[in-house]
Amino acid sequence: MREKDLENLSGKDPTPEKEQRREMLLKLLGEGGVGPMRFREIAGFLQVPKAERNELALLLGEMVREDRLFLDEGGHYTAGAGCTVEGEFLATGKGFAFVRPAEGTDIYIPESGTLGAWHKDRVLVKTKPMSAGEQKKSVHREGVVTRILERSTKEVVGRYRHRKDHGVVLPDLLKLDASILVAKEDAMGALSGQKVVVQITDYGKEGGSPKGQVTQILGYGSEPGVDILSIVKSYGLPTEFPEDVLLAAKNAGDCVKPENLRGRLDLRELVTVTIDGEDAKDLDDAITLQEKDGHYLLGVHIADVSHYVKENAALDLEALRRGTSVYLTDRVLPMLPPALSNGICSLNQGEDRLALSCLMELSENGELLSHEIAETVICVDRRMSYRQVNGILTGEDKQAQKTYEEYAPLFFKMAELSEKLRQRRRERGGVDFDFPESKITLDERGRVLLVAPYERNRATKLIEDFMLLANETVAEQFYWLEAPFVYRTHEKPDPEKVRKLNIFIQNFGYNLHLSQDSVHSKELQKLLTKVEGKPEEALISRLTLRSMKQARYTTECVGHFGLASKYYCHFTSPIRRYPDLQIHRIMKEYLHGSLTEERILHYRSILQEVCRQACYTERRAEEAERETEKMKKAEYMQHHLGERFSGVISGVTGWGIYVELPNTIEGMIRMSDLSGDYYRYDEGTQSLIGERTGKKYCLGQPIDIFVAGADKLAKTVDFVPAIS
C-alpha cells in the first residue's frame, strides 16, 4: 500500500474515495443493511482482495475509535454510535454481568466483555447500538467493559485452603468466582478451613489469578459468631471505633449538665413515654399527648444528638463514615459509640435528656393545625415495649394492664389519634404495606433456634404514624423556608413494572386504573385494601413493593410517592441515621437565628456528598442485613431436611419457582425437579405451564414441598414438590 494511501486512511482529511467507503460500510452494517458482521465476512461480502484487507482493517478500526462503528466482544461490527457509560459492575456469579449506570436501565455484559471487573467495581462501558426493534421491545442494552475506573473490593473474606507450596482463599461472596492465591509467607499461619480476610495485591491482569495476603484470621466457620463476622468483614462494615472517637464520647458524660438547660423549653412535667422493641437500647424518640379544647397536643421528642456531636469533630466524621447503625441477628454495629447511643443521647427512663421536639396541635379529626419546633429538656416516665402496649390495647396482656394501669388511658388516646392519622393518609393515597418481617432467635452460641414472622401490631403502627407526621411537618416547614436540607424522596414507579403488576393481579380478579402506564399511589392503596385478609395478600403486597423504586436521600424536595406526601424527611432517628443528625444542625441554627448566608452556602456545598454517602451506607447495611438473614434461614433449614411444609409460590422464573413458607423462609424448586413434563415460562401470566399436561405453577398458588437441601455458604434453600 502506498504511503499516500496510508495517510488517507488515518489522516484528518479523508479523500472523497475514503468517505465513499465509510458510507458504504455504514449502510452495510447499519439497520436495513446486512447487519452485524465479522471482519472476514465484510471482506468477503465486499470482495476485497487480500492485498487490500489491511487497508480495510485500518479503516474499520478508525471508525470504531470515532464511534461510527461498534465492535462487540464476538468481533462483530455494527453501524451506529455506541455510547460510553460509567456505572457499577454487578456480577451474577454465572459469568455474565450487568452494569448499572446513574440513569437509565442496566446494561448486559457478556462473559467475554467483563475485562476482569469484580462485583461493585466502577467501570466504563461501551454500549452496543440498539435497533429500533430492540428499543421497542425494551430489551437490555448490551455492552463491553472498556476500563475499570475504581476497584471496590480491597479485601475479601473466604475459606483458606492449604496447597503444597501456597494457599488459596475461596471467597464467601459467590459473585467473586475466582480463587485468590496466597504465598506461604503471606498466610499468617492460617490453617485449612479457617475463615480469613485477605487483602488483594493483584487483581489478575491478562487472565492471571488474583493474588493477596492474609491480614486477619477470623476462625473456623463453626465457631460462635464467625459466620456473621465474615459478612461484616465482607461488606466492609466498621466494627471498632477509633480511640479519639471513644474518648470524645466518654467526655460527653452520663448526665445533663445544668448549664446545658439554659434557653430550653422545660417539658419534664409532661407524662412522657418511649415505645420500642424489647431489646432496644438506643432510644431516640419519646411521645407526649394531651387534650385541650377537643384538640390533640402531640409532642414528638427526639434525642438532641447534635448537642454532643459537633460538625467536623471526630465523632461527626466517624458517624458520617458509618452513615447508619447496622442491625444484624446477633449484634448491632452502632453509628455512634455506646456511651452516646445507649447512654447520654438515649432517652432512658427517669433521666433528664436534651431533645429537639416537634410540638403539634391537631384537630379532633387529626388535621394538623399548628406546630412548633423547640429545643427542650424532657424526662421519660415509662419505657414501654411494643408487646406491652399492644397487650394493653388488645386486652391480651392482663399483667401489663395491671402494671401500667395509670398509663392505659394515654395509650388508648394515642391509638385513637393514630387511627385518625392513618385514615387521613389512606384518603390521600398513602401506600401501607403490612406483611410480616422475619424474627430470628439465636442461642448463646449464635445457632438458630427459631425463625418466625415478626408482624406489626397496633403499638408499632402507633409510633410509625406519629413519626411520619413529625417527619412531614419538619420537611414542609424547611421547604417553605427555602433552607438547605436533606429530604427523603421516593419517585414514581417504573411504568413497565406497573404494567406487569397490573397484568399479574388480573389473574386474581383485581385491576389498576392506569394513565399511560402511570399509577397514582391511591390506586395501589386501594389494591392493598382489597387484598387485606385474603390468601394472596402477602404475595401481592410484596410484588407491589417490588414495582416501586427505592427511596433515597436528596437535597431536592420531590415528594414521597409511597406516602403520598409532598414533603418528607428523616428527622426522628439521629442516633442511628446520619441524615437526621445533619438536619438537626440546620434546624438548630435556624432556631438560634444563625443560619446566615455564609452558613447556607456552607450547607449547600456539603449536602450533596452527605446524601450520596447516606444512600451508599444505607444500601450497604440493607444488603448485609439481608445476607445475614438468608444465611441464618439456610442454617435453620439444615435441621429440617426431608421435612414436609405447606407454602405459597412467591416467584416464578424460567429456571424454577420460589416458594415461601409461613415462617418467612423462601426456597427454590428447580425446573429439573418439576418432573413428568416439560415446562415453559409464560411471562404474561408469570407462570410455568406444562407442555403435555397443561399443569400450571403460578404466583400465589399453595403448594406442599419437601426440604431437599440448604447451603449456608450460598445462603440458599432447595425444595422439591411433594407428590400428593
The domain that holds 703 is classified in CATH as 2.40.50.140
Examine the pLDDT at 280 and tell me if it is beyond 50. yes
Range with the lowest mean pLDDT among 42-56, 218-232, 550-564?
42-56
What confidence tens digit (pLDDT) does each residue in 91-123 have?
A: 988 889 999 887 777 899 998 888 889 999 999
Residues 161, 142 share a domain: no
Number of domains in the chain: 6
Is residue 637 very low, low, confident or very high in pLDDT (cuts 50, 70, 90)? very high
Examine the pLDDT at 365 and tell me if it is beyond 90. yes
User: Which residues, 6 or more positions from 134, have their beta carbon under 8 angstroms from its beta carbon?
Assistant: none
Residue 689, strand partner residues: 680, 696
472 CB-side CA count, 13 A: 20
In a domain, 130, yes or no: yes
Residues 261, 369 share a domain: yes
Residues 345, 436 share a domain: yes
Using alpha carbons, list the distances in angstroms from residue 637 to 667, 711, 722.
10, 9, 17
* pLDDT of amino acid 8: 38
In a domain, 114, yes or no: yes
Residues 433, 306 share a domain: yes
Which residue, of 45, 79, 113, is where some domain finishes? 79
Residues 469, 326 share a domain: yes
Range with the lowest mean pLDDT among 238-242, 302-306, 596-600, 688-692?
688-692
Q: Which long-range contacts (CB under 8 A, 24 or more apart) does 364-372 make?
A: 364/294, 364/295, 364/296, 365/420, 365/424, 366/296, 366/417, 366/420, 366/421, 366/423, 366/424, 367/424, 368/469, 368/473, 369/295, 371/473, 371/477
What confidence tens digit (pLDDT) does each residue in 588-624 have?
A: 999 999 999 999 999 999 999 999 999 999 999 999 9
Residues 455, 364 share a domain: yes
Please tell me what DSSP assigns to residue 340: I
What confidence tens digit (pLDDT) does each residue in 21-77 have?
A: 888 888 787 766 676 788 988 888 888 888 888 888 888 888 877 667 777 666 778
Examine the pLDDT at 654 and tell me if it is beyond 90. no
* pLDDT of amino acid 15: 64
In a domain, 561, yes or no: no
Residues 646, 617 share a domain: no
Residues 163, 62 share a domain: no
Looking at residue 48, which CATH number applies to its domain? Answer: 1.10.10.10
Task: Write the single-letter amino acid at 425.
Answer: R
What confidence tens digit (pLDDT) does each residue in 477-527 have?
A: 999 999 999 999 998 888 878 888 887 788 788 888 887 667 788 888 888
Which residue, of 31, 51, 79, is where some domain finishes? 79
Using alpha carbons, list the distances in angstroms from residue 673 to 120, 653, 676, 707.
33, 14, 9, 12
Of 230, 180, 34, the residue nearest 712 (C-alpha): 230
Which residue, of 150, 185, 201, is where some domain finishes? 150
Q: Quote the domain boundaries for residue 526.
A: 492-548
Residues 211, 177 share a domain: yes
If one compares 366 and 2, the residue with the highest pLDDT of the two is 366
In a domain, 225, yes or no: no
Residues 710, 660 share a domain: yes
Residues 339, 408 share a domain: yes
* pLDDT of amino acid 137: 46
Distance of CA 15 to the CA centre of its chain: 55
In a domain, 54, yes or no: yes
Examine the pLDDT at 79 and tell me if it is beyond 50. yes
* pLDDT of amino acid 244: 97
In a domain, 636, yes or no: no
Residues 166, 43 share a domain: no
Average pLDDT along the chain: 89
In a domain, 556, yes or no: no
In a domain, 238, yes or no: no
Is 206 exposed, middle or buried, given 0-12, 13-18 or 19+ CB atoms closer than 10 A? exposed
* pLDDT of amino acid 5: 35
